[in-house]
């Protein structure tokens, strides 16, 4: 009698903190190209910022406080804004995900 065993392994990869939220981001002249400003996230928090309109994403590190304009949650550098395809728009709805604190 032959016995056939089939082993199926399901793997999933879930980031450390996979919570995505939508924010209104604006851009500013940061001294470092991948620095972002947020009012409450701890300094050094790493985020993936994604433009849902075109699918482009970029990595940023929280290293500043702000934005100080109502209705905006995140300030990103001009370099990151161009990577995300902001165009001439100064404000854009983006999705964020914490990848490491």
Domain-located, residue 3? no
Domains in the chain, number = 1
Q: Supply 47's token pair.
A: 């985020």
Domain-located, residue 36? yes
Q: What is the pTM of this model?
A: 0.71
Which structural domain, as residue segments, surrounds residue 92? 20-100
Domain-located, residue 10? no
How far apart are alpha carbons 41 and 37 in whole angstroms? 9
Domain-located, residue 73? yes
How far apart are alpha carbons 88 and 1 in whole angstroms? 72
pLDDT digits (tens, 9 = 90+) for 17-56: 334 455 667 767 777 889 889 999 999 999 999 999 899 9
CATH code assigned at 85: 2.40.40.10
Q: Supply 82's token pair.
A: 């161009």
Tell me the CA distances in angstroms from 78 to 19, 27, 29, 56, one per residue in order: 25, 6, 6, 15
**Helix residue spans in 1-101 (DSSP H):** 78-84
Domain-located, residue 37? yes
């Amino acid at each position: 009698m032959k016995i056939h065993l089939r082993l199926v392994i399901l793997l999933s990869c879930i980031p450390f903190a996979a919570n995505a939220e939508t924010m209104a981001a604006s851009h500013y002249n940061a001294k470092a190209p991948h620095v972002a400003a947020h009012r409450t996230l701890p300094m050094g928090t790493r985020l993936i910022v994604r433009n849902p309109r075109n699918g482009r994403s970029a990595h940023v590190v929280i290293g500043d406080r702000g934005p100080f304009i109502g209705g905006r949650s995140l300030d990103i550098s001009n370099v990151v804004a161009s990577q995300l395809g902001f165009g001439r728009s100064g404000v854009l709805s983006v999705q964020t995900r914490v990848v490491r604190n």
